[in-house]
Amino acid sequence: MNYNFSTLYRLYALELSNKKWFIYTTKETDTKNIDLNSKLLYQFVSNNLPILSHNSTQLNDVLEVNFYVKKYMRLYGIKNVRGGSYSDEVLSDIKNGYGPHDYKLVMGYSGWGSGQLEAEVQNGDWIIMPSSKELIFSKTDKNKWNIAIKNMNIDFNNFSGQSGLA
């Protein structure tokens, strides 16, 4: 997988057998070659053969790939979609020196009940903002807060660490 998007890359949503999907990124435009290459490169596609290629989309940034993978995961279920950094191949690529230059491997678990996170966002419990490579890949976690708030035009000195009812 090539992680340099200075040239034109396209994203293809491959509908696979067994109600599975694979989000494939390539410079290739011939769908026959896309099917063949994806079968040769990815075990998930070999185990669930391609049926159709959908939604060819031009990519401008490597971070867009995960946006589309997450979109398909919401539509078809996490267990039924692979691609982007949700593919086992990216770990092999990193190990062999072919992966992205900047990466962060994070392990852990966070969970919410059905609709809980959406309700918290709607209630204003979360501050939603665009992300950036600078924020994600800053060397120390102590810098992340300052990087995140620097362009929000909010004076966080007015916030309190205590809660209550007004």
- Whole-Å CA distances, 136 to 8, 37, 103, 116: 24, 31, 9, 25
Length of the chain: 166
Lateral strand order in the sheet of 20-26: 50-59, 9-16, 20-26, 81-83
CA triple 82-38-91, angle to 5 deg: 55
pLDDT in the model for residue 19: 93
Strand 9-16 versus strand 20-26 pairing type: antiparallel
Return the domain boundaries, the chain.
Answer: 9-95, 129-154
Per-residue pLDDT tens digits of the chain, which is 166 residues long? 444 455 577 888 899 999 999 988 887 888 888 888 888 888 888 889 888 887 688 887 766 787 888 888 889 988 888 886 555 556 666 777 766 777 777 777 777 888 888 888 888 888 887 777 777 887 777 778 777 777 777 777 777 777 777 6
Closest CA to 112 of 101, 120, 123, 122: 120
